[in-house]
Amino acid sequence: MGTIVIPGLQRLIADRQRFGFKKACAGLLYRGAQRLVKLRINEMMERPLDGINLLEVSPSISNLRFRALTSADVRRFAADPSYEFDATMPGRLEAGHDWCFAAFSGDRLVNYSWYALGSIESRHCHVALSFPANTVYMYKALTRPEYRGAGVHRATFVHAARYLAQLALERVVLIIEHANWHSRRSHQRLGFRTLGFIATAGRGTCRFERHPRVPAEFGLRFGIDADLSRRLAGRGTGFDALNE
C-alpha cells in the first residue's frame, strides 16, 4: 500500500513542535496564500547601535574567529550553493555599498551577516527601500544548520556592530518574512523592535502594496532610489574605512 502524503503536513507538525499550534496554522495559511495570490508579508524591524556592547555572547563559541569577507572570499564560498551567495554579491562588495561580516570555525565559514548602505532593490523584499546615511540595512544573514541555536549569529552581529559604530551609523534596519518565526524571535532577543509590516500581492498591473507608517525621523522611503544598478555602478565610500 502506498504512503499518502498530505502537502505541508510535515512542515505543520514541525512548526507546531517548535512554535505552537497557532503559529503553525498561521504559517500553513500564509504559505497557501503565497501560492494562490503571491501574497508576501514581511516584518520591518529596527535596533539602535547604541548599547550593542551590553549584549551578552555565549562563552561556548569563544573558539570562533570573526572578520569581514572580501569579494574573493564570496566568490570562493559561492561555489557551495548552501551559502546562498548570488552572482551580484562580489560586485556589491567591490562597489563599496555593501559589507559582509562573518564567523569562522577554523577555515570553515559558519555564519555571516550582510549589510547595505543607501538602498535595497525590490527583488529583495518585494518593495524597493531607501534609507538615510545614519542607517545600515541588514540585507541577509545565514548560519550553518549545525551551528544554529548556539548563539553564533548573535556573536557575529555584536562583533559587526562594533565596526559599524565607527561609521557614525545610529541604527540597523532589517526585513524578515512574517512566517519566519525563528528569525523574528532571534532578532527580538537581540533588541530589535517592530516598525511595521510590508504586504504585497499579485503581479504586474494587478499588484497590491501596503507599507508601514514608519516614523518620519527614521527617513525610510519605499519605492525610491533602490535600483540594483545604483548599487553596482560607481564607487561607494561608505564601507571603505572598514576594509582598510
Give the model confidence (pLDDT) of 147-182 as tens digits.
Answer: 998 899 999 999 999 899 888 899 999 999 888 888
221 phi-psi bin (left φ>0, alpha ψ -120 to 50, beta other): beta
What are the residues whose beta carbons fall under 8 Å from the beta carbon of 180, sequence distance 6 or more? none
Fold assignment, 38-243 = Aminopeptidase (3.40.630)
3-state helix, strand, coil in the chain (%, to 5): 40, 30, 35
Query: What does pLDDT average to in each consecutive run of 10 residues of the chain (244 residues)?
Result: 54 63 64 65 92 81 92 96 93 90 96 92 80 92 92 94 88 90 91 90 74 82 62 57 60
Q: How far apart, in whole angstroms, are the C-alpha atoms of residue 181 and residue 4?
A: 28
**Domain residue extents for the chain:** 38-243
Q: What are 71's three cell numbers?
A: 569579494
* Residue 243, pLDDT score: 59
pLDDT digits (tens, 9 = 90+) for 113-147: 999 988 888 777 778 888 888 999 999 999 999 99
* Residue 44, pLDDT score: 93
* Residue 123, pLDDT score: 76
Please choose, from the candidates 200, 174, 199, the residue with its C-alpha nearest in 3D space to the C-alpha of residue 187.
174
Strand partners, 142: 112
* Residue 1, pLDDT score: 46
